[in-house]
A and B are shown apart, each in its own frame.
Chain A
């Protein structure tokens, strides 16, 4: 399958690094694959790195939020890392605040957040 987002495994944490702008189809594909991998690897946590994205509109934010909820229903946790400052500012103006989604500044801090439990 031509998956555009690599999902790496580090210990019992999965790391998905979004490299380029994703179409809706790619996002749905990523949602499914993350859930499959969480189940397959019994991952305790998932990190989604969005630092390469220079836009996160309400649809993209909604997709990340859905992903986080689905992962949580599987007893695992999802942390979004690397939201760019300009992107964060745009999201705030849009009114998208993702109150139920864990975020961290970067990969290391995301891992630390998952380890802290």
Chain B
């Protein structure tokens, strides 16, 4: 679709903490170009940061795909965080506020879910994690 081509998407390899910063910066830029409000740009960048950091911390490497999408005439920004790391054993617990195997706040997954409109996690132990999240415009 023409609009998507014009806006452009982006796939970034995530391996180190510097990649976390560049992924969230490019997410913010794409959101800005699409016309998201400043608060929404900050929210999107924050969610990307959390998902990218989880890749670095728990899977070692993976990628973040950031793509403008359209559904029923409405524009959105889709973030896919994908890795082939150890996966998440107990997803329900991982999605709860404060649960962390990394001795940190345990707010990344539940927080990103609150920030985004659509949020879906597919994982299998030993196979990795795919998080798909969308923020729709003008909500």
Contacts and interface: CB of A to CB of B under 8 A. Distances in A.
Q: Interface size class for chain A?
A: 20 to 34
B114 A94 contact: yes
B38 A93 contact: no
A57 interface: yes
Task: Give the dominant DSSP class at A's interface.
Answer: helix
B38 A59 contact: no
Contact of A86 (B17, B25, B39): B39
Contacts of A21: 21, 25
Interface in B113-129: 114-115
A60 to B, nearest CB: 8
Task: Give the dominant DSSP class at B's interface.
Answer: helix
A65 to B, nearest CB: 9
Contacts of A85: 39
Nearest to A24: B17
Interface of B: 17-18, 21, 24-25, 28, 38-39, 41-43, 45-46, 49-50, 53, 97, 104-105, 107-108, 110-112, 114-115
Given A58-B104, A86-B39, A96-B105, 19 more contacts: A23-B17, A25-B17, A54-B28, A55-B24, A58-B108, A62-B105, A86-B38, A87-B42, A89-B39, A89-B42, A90-B43, A90-B115, A93-B115, A94-B111, A94-B112, A95-B97, A95-B107, A95-B111, A96-B107
